[in-house]
Amino acid sequence: MNTSIDKLLKSLTLEEKAALVAGADMWKTQEIERAGVPSITMFDGTNGVRKPGSTQEMGLFSENMPATCYPTGVALGSTWNTELIEEVGEALGRESLALDTQILLGPGVNMKRSPLGGRNFEYYSEDPVLTGELGAAMVNGLQRMGVGASVKHFAGNNQETEKMVSNSVVDERTLREIYLTAFEIIVKKANPWTVMTSYNLLNGTYTSEHDFLLRQVLREEWGYDGVVMSDWTAVHDRLKSLRAGLDLEMPGPAKYNAVKLVSAVRSGELDESVLDASVRRMLELVAKVTAAAGSKEARQPWDVDAHHELARRAAAESIVLLKNENGILPLAAGKLRLLAVIGQKAKKPRYQGGGSARVTPTRLDIPYDEIAAMAGGEDHLAYAEGYRNDNEPDDALIKESVRLASQAEAAVLFVGQPEGTESEGYDSKTIDLPPAQVKLIQEVAAAQPNCIVILCNGTAVAMQEWIGGVPAVLEMWLSGQGSGRAVADILFGRVNPSGKLSETFPVKLSDTPSYLTFGDGNQQAVYSEGIFTGYRYYAKRSLSRCSRSATAYPTRRLSTAACAPALPAG
């Protein structure tokens, strides 16, 4: 293999080599037909394949090719189950092959520095070791199918505010212990075919041209020999980035930068061996991809039903029982006279976040329908919308909800951050539920003691305004296209809840360790809390309590044994 790659490398012209280290369009690398080098196609993303109609389109605001929408990172992170995540990785691999995708741009393994992070839903945890183990499982599953992973975004990319220009200021101990560890675990345990750098600067240098990060740490210390690619349009100084070890500039074509590379080699400014090292890694990647393209799974349709079942099963394992007083859950299937189902999200579910991770699902389970089926039919349900997609309480909607809830034997309330608030591109402003939903919960809970709150959100929310008044809370997360069935299974005890939080739920935003500096703007993100992120901070300040009282229904044993990071007292 190496001899043939050596030969191939020698046969390429300088112009061909410069073309090979950049994309050909939005999603493909350059083909060198003359030399028999095919192009590689890559698409997002972190919880499903997002394939636009053509490789010229970004496809962020259009419907893309249908693919299974698996639970988002935060939800998978709450399973703490490496075997399950590996299985999801394999399924993503199968779908990628069927959709002619050789590299899938995920998993996303950045740390959650603040619950306000716009992409928190894509990431597994606030803990580097848990993230590393789960990320390695995902990469192993995917790559076993012959599809390369792109572990992203390397590194110090923990906010969306000014993300293209923001400088993350992090001391070395914090960087290594908190922000690099997950990448290190994945590189060493799963050898991802590619690593994607981030948009931000790290201590004054763009990560796409960061010699310490890319050459010293990633390649020399960790021994990484795969391809490093840029995030989309994140290359600034191409010579600097190539020298630091960034092989592939995406997207392309990089007309200006290709000319620059050629003339830099000709003028002696750039040693051709530097370019050759990157070209060699690109050719090695092409060889891996080509070998996999010959597998029997390649371009075969996947079993849509079986993958939907997997999405349901993974969603059910993601759901976390946060509170269950008086054994109110599970509900008795088929035995309730009337169950009030309240909240717009029961019929219009929120099951994924926005931005490059947004998948067009193959189908979608609706919580209301799934609950109706288990409750014995719609005659046993009373539905009220409860709120609309805004902040202002609507007294008429609340009144109707209270009326129905008081006539029923129990009420299930679907609440969570409004559609469009959790996405790539911006950070959130608050971790509180909208006032309309808080008021709804308070008033329904006052009228109906058997009140179960179901949270649909991509990161921690504050609960202190209402949690004392309700006996049961389920964290459903943004759990993908099968989450409607999954939540019904959990509500009615067909599945015992086994999810555990993988991030801390603060009592209020101002309690969070990065509160004073997160999202400040001024193109600076100063990580002044150091290594005390997430539960480390609360534990250090003795603000934590780790409750095991509501982690499963009492009658059955759990299959997983992980303990949730601490919930702060309050």
231/249 with CB nearer ligand BGC? 231
What's the closest the beta carbon of residue 456 comes to ligand BGC, in angstroms? 23
Residue 392's Cβ-side half-sphere holds a number of Cα atoms within 13 Å equal to: 3
Least distance from ligand BGC to the Cβ atom of residue 91, Å: 19
Residue 152 contacts ligand BGC per CB under 6 A: yes
Using a 10 angstrom Cβ sphere, with 0-12 exposed, 13-18 middle and 19 or more buried, the burial of residue 333 is middle
Is 356 near ligand BGC (CB under 6 A)?
A: yes
- Nearest distance in Å: CB 199, ligand BGC: 7
To the query of whether residue 127 is one of the catalytic residues in this protein, the response is no
Give the count of residues interacting with ligand BGC (CB under 6 A): 6
- For residues 122 and 169, what is the distance between their CA atoms, to the nearest angstrom? 23
Read off the amino acid at residue 130. Answer: L
Pairing of strands 201-202, 167-169: parallel
Q: Which residue, 192 or 565, is less far from ligand BGC as judged by CB?
A: 192
Binding status of residue 432 toward ligand BGC by CB under 6 A: no
What tokens does 529 get?
């809390």
CA gap 453, 466 in Å, rounded: 10
With beta carbons less than 8 A apart as the criterion, state whether 412 and 444 touch: no
From the candidates 6, 25, 44, 231, which is the catalytic residue?
A: 231
Residue by residue, DSSP assigns 70-89 as PPPHHHHHTTT-HHHHHHHH
What is the C-alpha to C-alpha distance for residues 12 and 3, in angstroms, rounded to an integer?
Answer: 15
| Smallest separation, CB 547 to ligand BGC (Å) | 35
**In the complex, minimum distance from the CB of residue 275 to ligand BGC, in angstroms, rounded to a whole number:** 25
Q: Give whichever of 59 and 506 is closer to ligand BGC, judged by the CB atom.
A: 59
For residue 259, the minimal CB distance to ligand BGC (Å) is: 25
Measured from the CB atom, the residue of 152 and 500 that comes closer to ligand BGC is: 152
Q: Which is nearer to ligand BGC, 121 or 232 (CB)?
A: 232
Choose, by CB under 6 A, the member of 40, 88, 91, 105 that binds ligand BGC.
105
Q: What residues numbered 25-84 form the site for ligand BGC, per CB under 6 A?
A: 44
C-alpha to C-alpha distance for 387 and 379, rounded to whole angstroms: 23
- Of the pair 80, 426, the CB lying nearest ligand BGC is at 426
Q: What single DSSP character describes residue 216?
A: I
Distance CA 17, CA 280 (A): 9
Question: 71: which DSSP letter?
Answer: P
Task: Return the structure tokens found at 532.
Answer: 């005390």
Question: Which of 119, 500 has the CB closer to ligand BGC?
Answer: 119
Is residue 412 within 8 Å of residue 370, measured between CB atoms?
no
Least gap, CB of 352 to ligand BGC (angstroms)? 14
Calpha distance 428→444 (Å, rounded)? 27
Selected binder of ligand BGC within 162, 209, 231, 370 (CB under 6 A): 231
Is 240 in a helix, a strand, or coil?
helix
| 160 contacts ligand BGC (rule: CB under 6 A) | no
Site for ligand BGC in 490-519 (CB under 6 A): none
Name which of residues 266 to 325 contact ligand BGC (CB under 6 A): none
CB of 150 to ligand BGC, least distance (A): 7
Looking only at the bridges linking them, the beta strands covering 194-197 and 148-154 are parallel
Residue entry with tokens 């750039």: 270
Q: Look at residues 379, 374, 507, 364 and name the one whose alpha carbon lies nearest to residue 68.
A: 364
Classify residue 102 by its DSSP letter: S
For residues 101 and 55, the answer to whether their CB atoms sit within 8 Å is: no
Q: Which long-range contacts (CB under 8 A, 24 or more apart) does 220-223 make?
A: 222/184, 222/187, 222/188, 223/187, 223/188
φ, ψ of residue 151 to 5 degrees: the values are: -75, 130
Q: Which is nearer to ligand BGC, 122 or 317 (CB)?
A: 122
Q: Which residue is nearest to ligand BGC (CB)?
A: 356
Annotate each residue in 180-219 with x if it binds ligand BGC (CB under 6 A) or - if it does not, as one string.
----------------------------------------
Among 232, 414, 477, 535, binds ligand BGC (CB under 6 A): 232
- Ranges within 376-405 binding ligand BGC (CB under 6 A): none
Question: Given the rule CB under 6 A, which residues bind ligand BGC?
Answer: 44, 105, 152, 231-232, 356
Which active-site residues does the annotation give? 231
